[in-house]
Amino acid sequence: MWKRSALLAAVAMSSAWAVQAADYRVETLAEGLENPWSLAFLPDGGMLVTERTGQLRHISSEGELQAEPFSGVPEVFVSGQAGLFEVALDPEFEQNNRVFLSYACGTSKANHTCLASATLDGQALTEVEEIFRVTPAKAGSAHYGGRIAFLPDNTLLLSLGDGFNYREESQKTSSHIGSIVRLNRDGSVPEDNPYVGQDGALPELYSIGHRNVQGLIYDAQGQRVLAHEHGPRGGDEINLVEPGKNYGWPKITFGVDYSGAVISPHTELPGLEQPLLHWTPSIAPAGFSLYRGELFPEWDGNLMVAALAGMEVRRVVLEGNEVVEQESLFGELESRFRDVRSGPDGALYLLTDAAQGKLLKVLPGN
């Protein structure tokens, strides 16, 4: 267990930063998870955890990691960044026991981000059905996106990546690559999607011009969709996502290529959306959560961004759509953080990205 007293240093990157420190302690709930990627809370107090290597794990309501993973998980392409990604409960899970899984499927020469639904039946997935796969296929094993968020009408958003070597696809409405798509829960297309009926456009598209969206949330109180995405070297972004909008990649970016080469001389152009916040150097944002709870009242309503390269969770305070504060949390753990979740009990939950990853629980220090 780790404990922080009243002060944690934040890296001052601008005069807009202000630190409102909270006392906390960090407990380890589960160890030995193989590159855990996503966490979902079950109504009975248990949890589901995905491992990128293709396993769906169960942590009981007593906090015990079950030895055997769920059977019935779809066949997953595992290589590099490819693997099993998000697990999300159907909004009507208590009635239908349905879950959704995003994952890489295919082969090294032709693969996709895929989405399946299934029924949770004991320690098995049954009635497994693939309901969506990205068009076109791509080669390689990078930039899949894979986050899921449900809207108030019970349609779902699925974030996608640009495939790393396919970034020009992000500007095409004839491609899912580098986009966010919106689907009905059976995989069909909502009739009011923004590109429905447009000549040559894929009807699933919700927004385009993204690089690799690995954070996606619906803020019910603000009635808005927020997403974050990896930049290249610099230029990570948080965006307010609205239907039919173009978020610019790779025509505009605040980052440069890994070689140092210029990707675009532009950080803004007409018709392309600006981020609410961008980070240079890159923190490599991964999971994303909106904290709601009474255990940390000073965090209520704040965004929590899990960071891989940054080895932190970045707390971001918004007033409306303006960023007014940031704080770097949990750097003392010296871990790459893949996911962060606001729990139903008011605690904050973290997944560390490692071959022997951990599930951590953050509670008040007092």
Residues tagged active-site: 143
Residue 88 three-state SS? strand
Q: Which of 102, 109, 180 is nearest to 141 (CA)?
A: 109
Q: How far apart are CA 276 and CA 318, in angstroms?
A: 9
Q: Which residue, among 291, 141, 306, has the nearest Cα to 228 in the 3D structure?
A: 306
Side-by-side strand order, sheet with 98-106: 84-89, 98-106, 111-121, 124-133
Q: Classify residue 1 as exposed, middle or buried by CB count within 10 Å of its CB (0-12, 13-18, 19+).
A: exposed
The rounded distance, in Å, linking the Cα atoms of 163 and 165 is: 6
Beta bridge partners of 59: 47, 65
- DSSP-derived secondary structure for 8-49: ------STT-------EEEEEEEEEESSEEEEEE-TTS-EEE
Neighbour count for residue 92 (Cβ, 10 Å): 11
- Strands, DSSP E only, in 137-274? 148-150, 156-159, 179-183, 205-208, 213-219, 224-229, 236-241
Secondary structure element (H or E) that encloses residue 96, with its range: helix 93-96
CA distance 181 to 160: 8
Residue 33 in contact with residue 51, Cβ under 8 Å? Answer: yes
Tokens of 185: 């829960």
* Rounded-to-integer distance, Cα 193 and Cα 207, Å: 10
Of 184, 233, 215, nearest to 338 (Cα)? 215
